[in-house]
């Protein structure tokens, strides 16, 4: 059953990808460009964005710090057309409560969650006026339930999951699609920090393909790779008396 209008043809559609300088965001922008979309990529200023524009003729670069609300609004106003926005911006640093770092907690909150709110504040009135469009938020299976080393990262992704669910309920009747993307382990500069074996590790290109497939199917819940994410969904259903020992055993932490 499709929970969103399926997006089967990207030709002529303007898609704003926020957080597209590397990893999943960049791969998704590349895939959408290949499908004929007018791709607009945003991230902090840097050579990666400029290189993307050179490699993908017709794309547009909007350098942006998602923590700057005024800059987000200015970037949104510069778009003559907007059919979809994909929030891919994110930061990750492993952290445990035994080494609590408030500055890192605040940074994760600002980039992973508050930045998404800034983008919503800028685009929602416009999408509501035009009566169509799509919002996609990139969360993580780390937001399903508490995990070791996820003290700073996991709660922000849990917030995005709840946010996407509520947005869907509020916006479905207004003609605006909403999708939640929860990847497992994807080979990116962020996951390169992990010092453990990552099960079912996939490439950013595989992640992007799964996202386009989900949008084509009209899915709300896009998670991948399913051989890993389905297990994570199952674990969060367990009572805590079972869940906590299972996570300690599987992670060794």
Q: From CA 193, how far away is CA 170, in angstroms rounded?
A: 37
pLDDT of residue 156: 98
The tokens of 29 are what?
């922008």
Q: Which residue, 147, 145, 85, 146, is CA-closest to 116?
A: 85
Rounded Cα distance between 156 and 222, Å, is 18
Q: How many helical (H) and strand (E) elements, i.e. helices and strands, does the chain have?
A: 9, 7
DSSP 8-class letter at 2: -
Q: In the structure, what pLDDT confidence band is assigned to residue 42 with cuts at 50, 70 and 90?
A: very high
The pair of structure tokens assigned to 51 is 């290189």
Confidence band, pLDDT 50/70/90 cuts, at residue 11: very high
pLDDT, tens digit, 9 for 90 and up, residues 188-226 = 777 777 777 777 889 999 999 999 999 999 999 999 999
pLDDT of residue 6: 97
Give the residue-averaged pLDDT of 11-32: 96
Render pLDDT for 104-148 as a digit per residue (tens, 0 to 9): 999 999 999 999 999 999 999 999 999 999 999 999 999 999 999
Domain extents in the chain: 14-251
Percentage of the chain surpassing pLDDT 90? 90
Helix (H) or strand (E) holding 16: strand 14-18
Report yes or no on whether pTM surpasses 0.85.
yes
Which stretch of DSSP H or E encloses residue 76? helix 69-77
Tokens of 62: 């909007």
pLDDT at 142: 95
Q: Are 42 and 16 in contact (CB under 8 A)?
A: yes
Residue with tokens 């003559």: 80
Whether residue 84 is predicted with pLDDT greater than 90 in this model: the reply is: yes
Name residue, tokens 């009135």: 125
Query: Do the Cβ atoms of 72 and 19 come closer than 8 Å?
Result: no
* CATH superfamily of this structure's domain 14-251: NAD(P)-binding Rossmann-like Domain (3.40.50.720)
Give strand pairing partners of 138.
Answer: 181
The tokens of 147 are what? 């995990």
- For 60-71, b/e burial (b = at least 16 CB within 10 A) is ebbebbbeebeb
Q: What is the mean pLDDT of the chain?
A: 95
Catalytic (active-site) positions:
153
In the three-class reduction of DSSP (H, G, I as helix; E, B as strand; rest coil), residue 143 is classed as helix
- Please calculate the CA angle 180-154-72 and round it to the nearest 5 degrees: 60
Tokens of 112: 């992973």
Instruction: Map residue 158 onto helix, strand or coil.
Output: helix
């Amino acid at each position: 059953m499709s929970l969103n209008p399926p997006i089967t043809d990207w030709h002529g559609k303007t898609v704003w990808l926020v957080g597209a300088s590397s990893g999943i965001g960049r791969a998704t922008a590349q895939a959408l460009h290949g499908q004929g979309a007018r791709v607009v990529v945003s991230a902090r200023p840097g050579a990666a964005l400029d290189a993307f524009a050179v490699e993908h003729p017709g794309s547009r670069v909007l350098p942006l710090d998602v923590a700057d609300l005024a800059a987000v609004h200015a970037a949104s106003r510069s778009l003559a057309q907007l059919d979809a926005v994909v929030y891919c911006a994110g930061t990750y640093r492993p952290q445990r409560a035994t080494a609590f770092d408030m500055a890192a907690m605040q940074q994760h909150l600002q980039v992973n969650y508050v930045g998404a709110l800034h983008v919503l504040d800028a685009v929602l009135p416009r999408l509501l006026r035009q009566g169509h469009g799509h919002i996609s938020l990139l969360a993580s299976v780390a937001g399903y339930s508490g995990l070791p080393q996820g003290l700073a990262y996991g709660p922000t992704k849990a917030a995005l999951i709840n946010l996407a669910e509520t947005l869907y309920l509020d916006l479905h009747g207004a003609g605006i699609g909403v999708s939640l993307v929860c990847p497992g382990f994807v080979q990116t500069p962020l996951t390169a920090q992990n010092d453990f074996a990552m099960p079912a590790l996939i490439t950013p290109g595989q992640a992007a393909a799964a996202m386009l497939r989900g949008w084509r199917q009209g899915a709300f819940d896009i998670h991948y790779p399913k051989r890993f994410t389905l297990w994570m969904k199952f674990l969060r259903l367990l009572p805590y008396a079972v869940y906590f020992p299972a996570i300690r055993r599987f992670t060794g932490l």
